Amino acid sequence: MKKLENVREFMRRDRVFDFVDKGYNPLKGYGHALSKGDVDVSHGMILYVENVSVSFDGFKALNDLNLYIKDGELRCIIGPNGAGKTTMMDVITGKTRPDEGRVFFGQNIDLTRMNETQVAEVGIGRKFQKPTIFPEHSVFQNLELAIKMDKRAVVSVRAKLSQSQLQRIDEVLELIGLPDQRQLAAKLLSHGQKQWLEIGMLLMSDPRLLLVDEPVAGMTHQEMDRTAKLLNELAGTRSVVVVEHDMDFVRSIASTVTVLHEGSVLAEGTMDQVQNNDKVKEVYLGS
Ligand X SMILES: Nc1ncnc2c1ncn2[C@@H]1O[C@H](COP(=O)(O)OP(=O)(O)OP(=O)(O)O)[C@@H](O)[C@H]1O
- Give the residues lining the site for Mg ion (CB under 5 A): 85-86
End-to-end CA, the chain: 67
Binder among 34, 39, 46, 61 for ligand X (CB under 6 A): 61
Cβ 7 vs Cβ 169: under 8 Å: no
Nearest-approach distance from CB 82 to ligand X, in angstroms: 4
**Cβ 212 vs Cβ 241: under 8 Å:** yes
Residue 129 vs 162, nearer CB to Mg ion: 129
Cβ at position 105, least distance to ligand X in Å: 20
The answer to whether 264 contacts ligand X (rule: CB under 6 A) is no
If binding means CB under 6 A, how many residues of this protein chain bind ligand X?
A: 10
Residue closer to Mg ion by CB (options 86, 258) is 86
- For ligand X, the closer of residues 19 and 284 by Cβ is 284
Contact 83, 262 (CB under 8 A): yes
78 binds, among ligand X, Mg ion, none (CB under 5 to 8 A by kind): none
Number of neighbours of residue 277 by Cβ within 10 angstroms: 18
**Judged by CB under 6 A, which stretch of 24-32, 81-89, 172-180, 231-239 contacts ligand X?**
81-89
Residue ranges in 86-105 that form contacts with ligand X under rule CB under 6 A:
86-87
56 binds, among Mg ion, ligand X, none (CB under 5 to 8 A by kind): ligand X
Q: How far apart are CA 103 and CA 230, in angstroms?
A: 27
Q: Which of 46, 76, 79, 239 binds ligand X (CB under 6 A)?
A: 79
Q: Based on CB atoms, which residue is closest to Mg ion, 86 or 96?
A: 86
Contact 52, 64 (CB under 8 A): yes
Residue 79 burial class via C-beta count within 10 angstroms: exposed 0-12, middle 13-18, buried 19 and up: buried
49 alpha carbon, distance to own chain's centre: 15
Three-point CA angle 123, 134, 211, nearest 5°:
30
